Structure 1
Amino acid sequence: MSAPSATHTAAPAGTSSFFQQPRAVWAVAFACVIAFMGIGLVDPILKEIAANLGASPSQVSLLFTSYMAVMGVAMLITGVVSSRIGPKKTLLLGLVLIIVFSALAGSSSTVTGVIGFRAGWGLGNALFVATALATIVSASSGSVASAIILFEAALGLGIASGPLIGGLLGEHSWRAPFFGVATLMCIALVATTFFLPATPPAGRRTSLLDPFRALRYPALLLMAIVAICYNLGFFTLMASGPFALPSFGIMQIGWTFFGWGVLLAVTSVWVAPVLQRRFGTVATLTAVLALFSLDLLQMGLFAEHEPAIMIGIIVAGAFLGVTNTLVTEAVMHAAPVERPVASAAYSFVRFSGGAAGPYVAMKLFEHVSVHAPFYFGGIAVAVGVVVMALGGRIVTRGSATDSPGSVEVAEDVLVGDID
């Protein structure tokens, strides 16, 4: 592992505003917004895709499963690619893949084709998102914590706007949201090309085995297991929510998930740091996951009452916003390894493990009842609460023993000089 570059210096804490960032940071953050639109973009049009392509609810749920499964496995290669061709080229490659596969998904005439192209979209997202976080951390002014909050803000804005844009465009055609993402990503591609300086490979070349070695650290492994549990709940909500609102049209579903996304964005940026300072990471995560589990269980109980489902979806955004921010920060300090390696290990377990959730949930919807998917999601998150409560000391010790020196080096290993 090489020493930090002499030309890369972090701004002292408090010397610059949260909003006074280099153009490179805003270019990548804008691309992050568009990338994260892909998560909620399909929610308003799930029923429309099923109706137009003659697909069952469990089949259209595979739009989430294929996307997450490929994204999770691809996380293993993000560090390998970035350490060989450099972060900027990795970001651009990811953007190009998202553009190509989102356009192909919009052009497809079969549900199998859309599912397959969503998988390719997941590959592009993995290359882009994993590299984008470390790029923002390294290039931003201020502390690592503020950089993570900026990343989470982009995530929240993308997740919030995805369903709304999906609804607005989906009223014209279910294909339009896919072409919309491709168009916006072309703008992000141009912005990243011109505003992000060249970032040649720096530091050691990582291998495919590095993420698996990182999982030997108990704190990182525990956080990854917790993330599987809450991802099962997260994507159960995403896949089941529209089908539990049978009288809602495309825009009504879009507005519902827009409210969910707004709460996610607000709590991830402003509420999560306050709760963390007041109660600590472990206590806050345990409580918020418990509330998310209860929210899903009440949705299961009142699954035939659309107002209860709508309110449950929106409120869930608050719990997921806090969870996303605190889990991301905890993972960054859970093991004395480079950030991209820790992120790859965690994301591989998180997305691969949670990929089955939407499909299982919609099979339960088809063969058991409208209540069953939410009970499944609520129980899965409850398991995560138990794991978090029992393993809290492991997470605390992992954060306490994380080496600040290795963290600083990790940023430069991945990103090089971005000034």
Structure 2
Amino acid sequence: MAHAAPTSSIWRQPMQVWAVAFACVVAFMGIGLVDPILPAIADQLQASPVETEMLFTSYLLVTGLAMLITSWVSSRIGVKATLLIGLALIVVFALACALSGSVDAVIGFRAGWGLGNALFISTALATIVGAASGGSGAAIVLYEAALGLGIAVGPLLGGLLGEVSWRGPFFGVAVLMSVAFIAIAVLLKTRGEKRAPVPLSAPIKALGRPALAVLAIAALFYNIGFFVLLAFSPFPLGFSAMGLGLTFFAWGVGLAVTSVWVAPILTRRMPRTTILLIMLPLLALDLVAAGVFVSTAWALVVCIVVGGLFLGVLNTVLTESVMEATDLPRAVASSSYSAVRFLGGAAAPPIAALLWHLYGPTVPYVFAAASVVIAAVVIAVGRRVLAPIDGREADAADEGAAVLVGDAA
């Protein structure tokens, strides 16, 4: 990745940087942590697959909507207060999920978790870039390492704890986030922080920019494919919690590797719109293959892991494109984009479960593939207004923001 050369080792950082990095690892572990326990929740709480998939829907819907106000909040109360509020909400609602006795309660508490996650991820990048030694390049490399670790380890930890009880992963998140909260409260110093208040309407008005609107709509349909692969696949696989944890650990490793290393290599060699128009059809073909081989467990595992490779590139390139599409502040552009794309992620899991119930396990993957094809068509039709994203090379901070915000899906 084309980072600015750091003046010192990325591993020689102030303790406050390590505190935020640790919190990022745990926050991103939460993406895949629930995956291995979905079948267990459905079984033990007597919930239908559609109800169980609402665990993703409530989380993503609230995360997306909250993204519209996080820049307004952090610009007024400061980054440390925003981080701590976000972490506190995650701790409270993860613990509430662990203590719940019905699937409806877990769905509701996951919504609160989504609010905390939105507040945290919207401010974490700026915090570590401002506090890290060695320049922005060192800070971004450290972020990428932390986020890649979280994405990969989340399903594995979920599988390990899920073997004991479906409540285990939720208790695990509550404990780890409590440690992160204490570390940031004690170690993070924000003296001299400059605040530039952001209007509440800024993210909504931003969607009036044609390039940003095209990318957001494309990402909405792309996210349907992403979350069908992530949230629906545990059901047809039929593995134990540990088996699912290992499967999605491999998925997370692939996603992290291509997000951190492969995407930047590609963007140095070809226009971003070209990358999108190559990767989106490849992802659609992978989803079709998953539908065809859904009854063969090992083949479906291969499709999931290969899909992770494509998703890593697409996450980074799409979000990096958002950074370059307009002259809007980075936080405003990413908030607008994330709010729209998370709607696709929120809708996909219960729709996939319903299609499975009505038509069998192949149809959800075909639905996902069709949605990804629509995303490719949107990019192709809107390529003229996307010209700015092909004409500029992202700096280290933009690339780091792409990894952070992109992988937060």
TM-score by length of 2: 0.90
Aligned pairs (5 A) from 1:218-233: 218-233=210-225
Residue 109 of structure 2: aligned partner: 117
Which of residues 371, 374, 397 in structure 1 aligns to 2:362? 371
Residue 5 of structure 1: aligned partner: none
Cα separation, partners in 2 of 1:211 and 1:145, compared to 1, 3 Å: farther
Residue 305 of structure 2: aligned partner: 314
Which of residues 162, 166, 171 in structure 2 aligns to 1:174? 166
How large is the RMSD of aligned CA atoms in angstroms? 2.4
Are residues 1:243 and 2:243 paired?
Answer: no
Identity, in percent, stands at 54
Equivalents in 1 of 2:114, 2:142: separation in Å? 22
Give a deviation string over 1:209-250, Cα, whole Å, max 9, x none: 10011112222222211211221111111221111112x211
Give secondary structure in 2 for the equivalent of 1:389.
helix
Aligned pairs (5 A) from 1:41-190: 41-140=33-132, 147=139, 150-190=142-182
Shift of residue 134, structure 1, vs aligned partner: 2.7
Which of residues 232, 244, 247 in structure 2 aligns to 1:256? 247
Letter in 1 for 2:280: L
Are residues 1:27 and 2:19 paired?
Answer: yes
Letter in 1 for 2:245: G
Letter in 2 for 1:236: V
Deviates more, 1:27-36 or 1:252-261: 27-36
Equivalents in 2 of 1:389, 1:30: separation in Å? 39
Which of residues 274, 277, 280 in structure 2 aligns to 1:283? 274
Residue 293 of structure 2: aligned partner: 302
Are residues 1:273 and 2:264 paired?
Answer: yes
Are residues 1:37 and 2:20 paired?
Answer: no
Letter in 2 for 1:24: Q
Letter in 2 for 1:80: W
Shift of residue 159, structure 1, vs aligned partner: 1.8
Does structure 1 conserve the Cα–Cα contact (< 8 Å) formed by 2:7 and 2:135?
no
Equivalents in 2 of 1:392, 1:149: separation in Å? 31
Cα separation, partners in 2 of 1:131 and 1:219, compared to 1, 3 Å: same
Shift of residue 33, structure 1, vs aligned partner: 1.2
Aligned pairs (5 A) from 1:340-355: 340-355=331-346
Cα separation, partners in 2 of 1:73 and 1:286, compared to 1, 3 Å: same
Equivalents in 1 of 2:379, 2:16: separation in Å? 36
Residue 7 of structure 1: aligned partner: none
Equivalents in 2 of 1:265, 1:346: separation in Å? 21
Equivalents in 1 of 2:42, 2:61: separation in Å? 21
Shift of residue 401, structure 1, vs aligned partner: 7.9
Give secondary structure in 2 for the equivalent of 1:394.
coil
Does structure 2 conserve the Cα–Cα contact (< 8 Å) formed by 1:334 and 1:402?
no
Shift of residue 27, structure 1, vs aligned partner: 2.1
Cα separation, partners in 2 of 1:211 and 1:402, compared to 1, 3 Å: farther
Letter in 1 for 2:333: A
Give secondary structure in 2 for the equivalent of 1:15.
coil
Count of matched residue positions in the alignment of Structure 1 and Structure 2: 396
Shift of residue 25, structure 1, vs aligned partner: 3.1
Cα separation, partners in 2 of 1:87 and 1:48, compared to 1, 3 Å: same
Shift of residue 391, structure 1, vs aligned partner: 2.4
Give secondary structure in 1 for the equivalent of 2:27.
helix
Shift of residue 314, structure 1, vs aligned partner: 1.1
Does structure 2 conserve the Cα–Cα contact (< 8 Å) formed by 1:260 and 1:317?
yes
Does structure 1 conserve the Cα–Cα contact (< 8 Å) formed by 2:35 and 2:231?
yes
Deviates more, 1:117-126 or 1:133-142: 133-142
Residue 357 of structure 1: aligned partner: 348
Letter in 1 for 2:59: Y
Letter in 1 for 2:233: G
Cα separation, partners in 2 of 1:23 and 1:328, compared to 1, 3 Å: farther
Shift of residue 136, structure 1, vs aligned partner: 3.1
Cα separation, partners in 2 of 1:150 and 1:394, compared to 1, 3 Å: farther
Shift of residue 285, structure 1, vs aligned partner: 2.3
Cα separation, partners in 2 of 1:273 and 1:12, compared to 1, 3 Å: closer
Does structure 2 conserve the Cα–Cα contact (< 8 Å) formed by 1:220 and 1:342?
yes
* Structure 2 stretches lacking a partner, 5+ long: 402-409
Residue 323 of structure 2: aligned partner: 332
Equivalents in 1 of 2:186, 2:49: separation in Å? 42
Are residues 1:193 and 2:185 paired?
Answer: yes
Cα separation, partners in 2 of 1:207 and 1:352, compared to 1, 3 Å: farther
Shift of residue 392, structure 1, vs aligned partner: 3.1
Equivalents in 1 of 2:4, 2:376: separation in Å? 37
Residue 388 of structure 1: aligned partner: 379
Which of residues 186, 190, 201 in structure 2 aligns to 1:209? 201
